[in-house]
């Protein structure tokens, strides 16, 4: 039985010419055999006719056998070649599949529920036998590789798939113990592929992928996210501290500004208060005289028709106190006192609005020109003795901003403009609108800014003023405030001619 396959295999390796030679040889041998057989049948009496007949018959039989043999071997050889090619392709496909599974850190398994055996591909074998080859094992033995706390989860997922009430598939992530005692993370996926007539599962196949590197990468990403979150939290804390420090710095600059013009503010308040006190002193005298006059009128009223002497006394007293003037001046004094009290009230309100801290202020829609006028009231004592203030206002919409911060910008620019004028000069206030932005311009006829200092005027603590006359923070703080509002400050200056500061502000911030 074993010789025939060897002969066929040998013949399949031969060329067609050699096969024909073999067939011819076989034909000749068969011709001799037939001739001998005929000789035996004729008891040795072989004639020429018999010999010729036997030779022809043997050649015909040999040719037919040779043709049949060559045709059969040719078909067998072609089938064998096709089979070998298919076998090679199948082997290559299996190798590619094996390499793909190996490259993806995956292992196949096949669970026969009728016998309870589990077939594992090469990827699983090292965990059981330590050798790289397919392995037969059992579900219980395989379960021992899973940590005890994770087994219930895996078994529940598999049982749910076996029941098939919802789905016949499952997917679970768990750990698997390696021979050295360490663990890897795997994603186990399976599906029931065969059931009996009653719906009982007979076979389940699946794949386990090693996702240890992915899990470690996820852990690293989680750790990085946590570190980034912590860093972001610290950054937010630092930002809050920076904002607090900035608020404190701005408030310090406010207090420095307030300290600078406090004497002027006090004088501005003292003058209307003194005026009111003087007016009330005069009013007191007027009212005392009027009370005396009224008393005399009351006393003389019943006697006026009969006593000319008392009437003359009343007329003389009226002339003495100048009743008509007292009446007019009393009304004027009261009006002037009320105006001065309103001025004091406005100064106090402007000062209160200016001195608000960052925690008290809120974004609001305000009239920028009113803010400018209020700030001008506060610093007026610094300006009125050497500056003529001219106003060129345009009609502006309300602007969404932090009012006290914008007040501080205007105050810093107004004080700088006043300080740039040594003796007498002009400060021009102008406003306008372009598109969705408004601008406020403060121009002075002072000394101007040297070209070499233009690039540094917004640097913190930079100042050209004498020591004790400035903190060097006014323009830096103003720039920061305007930038926070989404605006900018433009500067144009010429030494000996003056400086123009233009503040641009959006009517409303995009994110407000």
Q: What is the pLDDT of residue 285?
A: 74
Residue 438 confidence (pLDDT) above 90: yes
Give me the pLDDT at residue 451, please.
85
Q: Report the helix count and the strand count for the chain, using DSSP H and E.
A: 12, 13
Read off the DSSP letter of residue 455. G
CB 372 within 8 A of CB 429: yes
Integer Cα distance of 397 and 99 in angstroms: 74
d(CA 495, CA 346): 37
Q: Is the pLDDT of residue 176 over 80?
A: yes
Statement: residue 464 has pLDDT above 70: no
The predicted pLDDT at position 317 comes to: 75
What's the pLDDT at 408? Answer: 83
| CB of 215 closer than 8 Å to CB of 185 | yes
pLDDT score of 374:
83
Name the one residue in this structure whose structure tokens are 């043999």: 69
The CB-side HSE value for 98 (13 A sphere, CA atoms) comes to 14
List, in order, residues 6 or more apart from 405 with CB less than 8 Å away: 250, 361, 481, 484, 485
* Most confidently modeled range among 85-99, 149-163, 319-333: 149-163
Most confident of 44-58, 324-338, 429-443, 446-460: 429-443
Token pair, residue 431, equals 């406003």
Q: Delimit the domains of the chain by residue range.
A: 3-100, 104-210, 361-512
SS3 478: helix
First-to-last CA distance in the chain?
Answer: 96
| pLDDT band of 56, cuts 50, 70, 90 | low
| Greater model confidence, 5 or 148 | 148
What is the model's pLDDT at position 441?
94
* Residues 177 and 152 sit within 8 Å (Cβ to Cβ): no
Residue 404, pLDDT score: 80
> How far is CA 502 from each of CA 248, 295, 450, rounded to the nearest angstrom?
26, 66, 18
Predicted TM-score (pTM) of this structure: 0.41
Q: Which fold has domain 104-210?
A: Beta-Lactamase (3.30.450)
Taking residue 126's Cβ as centre, other Cβ atoms within 10 Å add up to: 15
Maximum average pLDDT range among 143-147, 337-341, 429-433: 429-433
pLDDT-based confidence at 397, cuts 50/70/90? very high
For 309-349, the pLDDT digits (tens) are: 766 776 777 777 777 777 677 777 777 777 777 767 666 66
Q: Which residue has the tokens 């010999």?
A: 51
Calpha distance 316→310 (Å, rounded): 10
Q: What are phi and psi of 120, to 5 degrees?
A: -115, 140
Q: How far apart are CA 469 and CA 488, in angstroms?
A: 26
Kindly list the distances between the CA atom of residue 258 and the CA atoms of 354, 361, 411, in Å, as whole numbers in the listed order. 9, 18, 10
Pick the CATH number of 361-512 from 1.10.357.10, 3.30.565.10, 3.40.50.720, 3.10.310.40: 3.30.565.10
Give the model's confidence band at 364: pLDDT under 50 very low, under 70 low, under 90 confident, else very high: confident
Identify any residues that bridge with 218 across adjacent strands, giving them in sequence order.
Answer: none
Reference 485, options 401, 428, 399; nearest CA is 401
Q: What integer pLDDT is reported at residue 459 of this predicted model?
A: 77
């Amino acid at each position: 039985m074993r010789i025939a396959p060897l002969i066929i295999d040998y013949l399949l390796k031969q060329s067609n010419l050699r096969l024909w030679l073999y067939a011819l040889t076989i034909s000749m041998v068969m011709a001799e055999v037939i001739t001998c057989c005929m000789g035996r049948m004729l008891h040795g009496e072989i004639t020429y006719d018999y010999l010729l007949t036997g030779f022809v018959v043997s050649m015909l039989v040999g040719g037919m056998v040779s043709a049949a043999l060559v045709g059969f071997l040719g078909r067998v050889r072609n089938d064998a070649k096709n089979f070998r090619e298919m076998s090679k392709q199948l082997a290559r496909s299996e190798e590619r599949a094996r390499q793909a599974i190996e490259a993806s850190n995956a292992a196949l398994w096949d669970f026969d529920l009728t016998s309870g055996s589990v077939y594992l591909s090469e990827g699983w074998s090292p965990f059981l036998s330590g050798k790289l080859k397919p392995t037969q094992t059992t579900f219980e033995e395989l379960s021992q590789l899973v940590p005890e706390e994770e087994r219930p989860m895996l078994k529940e997922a598999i049982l749910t798939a076996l029941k098939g009430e919802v789905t016949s598939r499952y997917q679970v992530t768990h750990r698997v113990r390696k021979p050295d005692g360490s663990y890897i993370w795997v994603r186990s996926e399976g599906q029931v592929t065969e059931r009996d007539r009653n719906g009982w599962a007979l076979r389940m196949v699946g794949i386990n992928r090693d996702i240890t590197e992915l899990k470690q990468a996820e852990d690293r990403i989680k750790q990085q996210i946590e570190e980034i979150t912590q860093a972001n939290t610290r950054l937010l804390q630092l930002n809050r501290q920076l904002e607090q420090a900035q608020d404190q710095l701005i408030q310090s600059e406010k207090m420095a500004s307030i300290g600078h013009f406090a004497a002027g503010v006090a004088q501005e308040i003292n003058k209307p208060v003194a005026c009111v006190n003087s007016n009330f002193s005069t009013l007191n005298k007027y009212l005392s005289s009027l009370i005396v006059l009224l008393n005399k009128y009351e006393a003389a009223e019943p006697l006026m028709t009969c006593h000319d002497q008392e009437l003359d006394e009343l007329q003389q007293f009226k002339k003495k106190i100048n009743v008509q003037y007292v009446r007019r001046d009393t009304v004027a004094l009261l009006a002037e006192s009320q105006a001065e009290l309103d001025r004091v009230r406005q100064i106090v309100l402007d000062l209160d609005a200016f001195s608000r801290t960052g925690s008290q202020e809120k974004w609001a829609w305000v009239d920028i020109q009113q803010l400018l006028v209020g700030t001008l009231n506060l610093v007026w004592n610094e300006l009125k003795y050497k500056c003529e203030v001219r106003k060129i206002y345009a009609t502006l919409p309300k602007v969404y901003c932090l009012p006290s911060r914008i007040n501080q910008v205007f105050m810093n620019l107004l004080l700088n403009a006043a300080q740039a004028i040594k003796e007498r000069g002009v400060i021009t206030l102008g406003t306008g609108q372009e598109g969705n932005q408004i601008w406020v311009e403060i121009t002075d006829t002072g000394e101007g800014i040297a070209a070499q200092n233009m690039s540094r005027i917004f640097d913190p603590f930079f100042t050209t003023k004498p020591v004790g006359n400035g903190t060097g923070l006014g323009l830096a703080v103003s720039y920061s405030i305007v930038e926070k509002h989404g605006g900018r400050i433009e500067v144009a200056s010429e030494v000996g001619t003056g400086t123009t500061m233009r503040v641009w502000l959006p009517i409303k911030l995009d994110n407000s």
